[in-house]
Amino acid sequence: MVKTQFRILYRQFLFRIVDVELLSAQGETSKLLGQFASLLVFLGMIFSFPLWALTGDDLPARARLLASWELEHFLIATTMLIVGLFAVLSWDSTLPDQRDVLVLAPLPVRASTMFLAKVAAIATGLAVTVAILNVLPGIPAPLAFAPLNSGLIGLPRSFAAYWITIFAAGAFILCCVLGLQGLAAQVLPRRQFLRVSSFLQIAAFCLFVSAYFLQPSLTSLEALTAAENQYWLACLPSYWFLGLFQQLNGSMQPALAPLAVRAWEGLAIAGSATAFVYSLSYFRMLGRIAEEPDIVPRFRRWRWLPGLGGSLETAIGQFSIRTLLRSRKHRLILAFYLGIGLALTILFVGLLVNLQQPRVGSVNILWREPNAGMLLSSVIIMFFGVLGTRVGFAMPLDLTANWIFRVTPVGGVTECLQANRRALLVLAVTPVWVGSAVIFLWLWPWWPAVGHLAVLAILGIAAAEVALAGFRKIPFTCSYLPGKSNLHLTFWLCVLALGLLVDQGAVLELHALWHPASCAVMIAILLIALALARKRTVVQTKSEALEFEDAPPPAVMVLGLHQD
């Protein structure tokens, strides 16, 4: 009986990790999971290429050692990032919710059975994520990382070391997130916990993304032994697991030994503390949910929102603002993109400081003169702000409630495009522009600051136009149809290409800002680009009916070579 209950609950909890409520009627959970899996396999495939290059004998021993440390650390850090994101995204499904209690409490199911099923489901989710990401790098990894002259035992040992380390690193991050969640649930009253949860999620998201992008590269013997780096090594768990891998692999350098010890200690502390706190909070929460409702609404002091043009624009704009501000899921999506943008910004500003500080002597002087790093940073934040908001627009909230938009006379796609445009401008472009205006007008001379703000405004509006091309929906109201992983991959490649373009653009802009004639030409060119982007968006979005169900891609592709 208990075994059957465990099996049923395990399956339920495992598939609850995915939020099926946002799926289109034509969408399947398996497709959504397949899409995630294909994305992870694709990443793994890219990671495996340099590993294959390391398996040859053409590299000198020292270069091979350094490259293998670099790659080992990269794979460990990436796995930790992915697991961290997985843990934050499945935050809501790790502790019991009201639905669990309402459905299961009247049934003769023991709380311990529910708990074990939940733990098993989380562990399965972790194992599957780690395994899929590492399935392709895991093939050449033993060949690349096995110590030279390790004999026959070297390969299987390296294979086992790789997988043990990867799973241990993933388990460590998952335990940290669960531990944090358990601790917060334990310390705070339930309603406070629910309120604080969204901030904790966003903080964890930003921490993982920033740590991944900003951690210094310390994969040489000199860097690992340097006294000034010991603080970083003590703070960055990805390096602890690099030490652990070396220990298990039989290729341990004395410099890495303390890191391996730290990895074991960290794993033991995180594992035992999480087991204690999480189990305690799980059982306590089961009791509390039955007694207390979810978040009790607060009286809202700030209710006023500005009009955004006509009544339709105002309705859609205000609905979008309220949804983005109040929906934890959507805030998390935006935080993810802004986190990446912020990390890249810090990276560029750091590079600028490192490169230019010797020339000017003081960081204060450096900030106060126009520089490419700050230009680039503001454009990147603008771009990721627009991108994150646009991705959020496509994710539905409360699909069953979208009938109100379908029975009211909201008009066609053209009317809604204007409303969506304004919503995107208000939610993404304006805050970034205003923030940038404060910083640039405060720090820089008047003329270059105004010039850049004009450029930033045009770029922001153009980014919003490009983002809305083909968007025939009202934000947050259309279901999501999985199975478009190729589209997402193309999209990220475009982001990469755009990054390179922005980099070159910042150098050109810096030059133009000192020359009014060049600045005028630059702004004219950008305005033309904006007009073209706007025209393209209008053409691509032309349709009679608004979409409330994400449609599958056409089975037959039309080339459109006919003449109308």
The residues binding another protein (CB under 8 A) are: 294, 296-297, 299-300, 303, 310-312, 314-315, 318-319, 322-323, 326-327, 397-398, 400-401, 403-411
The encoded tokens of residue 528 equal: 């033309």
The encoded tokens of residue 180 equal: 């944090």
Q: Please, what is the Cα angle at 501 between 460 and 542, to 5 degrees?
A: 50
The minimum distance between CB 407 and another protein, in angstroms, equals: 5
Nearer to another protein, 299 or 446 (CB): 299
The minimum distance between CB 293 and another protein, in angstroms, equals: 9
The minimum distance between CB 476 and another protein, in angstroms, equals: 9
Q: Please, what is the Cα angle at 169 between 167 and 174, to 5 degrees?
A: 90
Instruction: Supply the DSSP string of 343-400, one letter for each residue.
Output: HHHHHHHHHHHHHHHHHHS-HHHHHTS--HHHHHHHHHHHHHHHHHHHHHHHS-S-GG
User: What are the residues whose beta carbons fall under 8 Å from the beta carbon of 207, sequence distance 6 or more?
Assistant: none
Contact criterion met (CB below 8 Å) for 294 and 194: yes
The minimum distance between CB 552 and another protein, in angstroms, equals: 17
Which H or E run contains 254? Answer: none
Nearer to another protein, 237 or 392 (CB): 392
Per-residue CA distances from 273 to 5, 238, 267, 281, 283 (Å):
28, 20, 10, 12, 16
The minimum distance between CB 405 and another protein, in angstroms, equals: 7
Nearer to another protein, 29 or 314 (CB): 314
Instruction: Supply the DSSP string of 503-562, one letter for each residue.
Output: HHHHHHHHHHHT-HHHHHHHHHHHHHHHHHHHHHHHHHT--SS--SSPPPPPSS-----S
The minimum distance between CB 21 and another protein, in angstroms, equals: 12
Burial-class residue 3 by CB neighbours within 10 Å (0-12, 13-18, 19+).
exposed
Q: In angstroms, rounded to a whole number, what is the distance separating the alpha carbons of residues 275 and 115? A: 11
Q: Is 484 helix (H, G, I), strand (E, B) or coil?
A: coil
The encoded tokens of residue 503 equal: 């980099």
Which H or E run contains 474? Answer: none
Nearer to another protein, 247 or 327 (CB): 327
Per-residue CA distances from 327 to 166, 226, 321, 330 (Å):
34, 46, 10, 5
Nearer to another protein, 214 or 401 (CB): 401
Nearer to another protein, 262 or 473 (CB): 473
Q: In angstroms, rounded to a whole number, what is the distance separating the alpha carbons of residues 329 and 391? A: 12
Dihedral angle computed from the Cα positions of residues 162, 60, 223 and 74, in that order, rounded to the nearest 10 degrees: -30
Q: Which residues pair with 480 in a beta bridge?
A: 23
The minimum distance between CB 408 and another protein, in angstroms, equals: 4
Q: In angstroms, rounded to a whole number, what is the distance separating the alpha carbons of residues 74 and 104? A: 43
The minimum distance between CB 102 and another protein, in angstroms, equals: 15
Nearer to another protein, 296 or 500 (CB): 296
The minimum distance between CB 463 and another protein, in angstroms, equals: 27
The minimum distance between CB 418 and another protein, in angstroms, equals: 14
Nearer to another protein, 31 or 328 (CB): 328
Nearer to another protein, 60 or 106 (CB): 106
The minimum distance between CB 373 and another protein, in angstroms, equals: 39
The minimum distance between CB 106 and another protein, in angstroms, equals: 17
Nearer to another protein, 245 or 405 (CB): 405
The crossing angle, in degrees rounded to 10, of helices 154-187 and 190-214 is 140
- Closest by CA to 105, choosing from 277, 281, 288, 276, is 288
Nearer to another protein, 62 or 322 (CB): 322
The encoded tokens of residue 42 equal: 């694709």
The minimum distance between CB 322 and another protein, in angstroms, equals: 6
User: What are the residues whose beta carbons fall under 8 Å from the beta carbon of 151, sequence distance 6 or more?
Assistant: none
Nearer to another protein, 324 or 352 (CB): 324
The minimum distance between CB 403 and another protein, in angstroms, equals: 6
Q: Is 480 helix (H, G, I), strand (E, B) or coil?
A: strand
Q: Is 220 helix (H, G, I), strand (E, B) or coil?
A: coil
The neighbour count for residue 197, using CB atoms within 10 Å, is: 19
Q: Please, what is the Cα angle at 261 between 258 and 262, to 5 degrees?
A: 85
Nearer to another protein, 371 or 402 (CB): 402
Q: In angstroms, rounded to a whole number, what is the distance separating the alpha carbons of residues 209 and 175? A: 18
Nearer to another protein, 150 or 314 (CB): 314
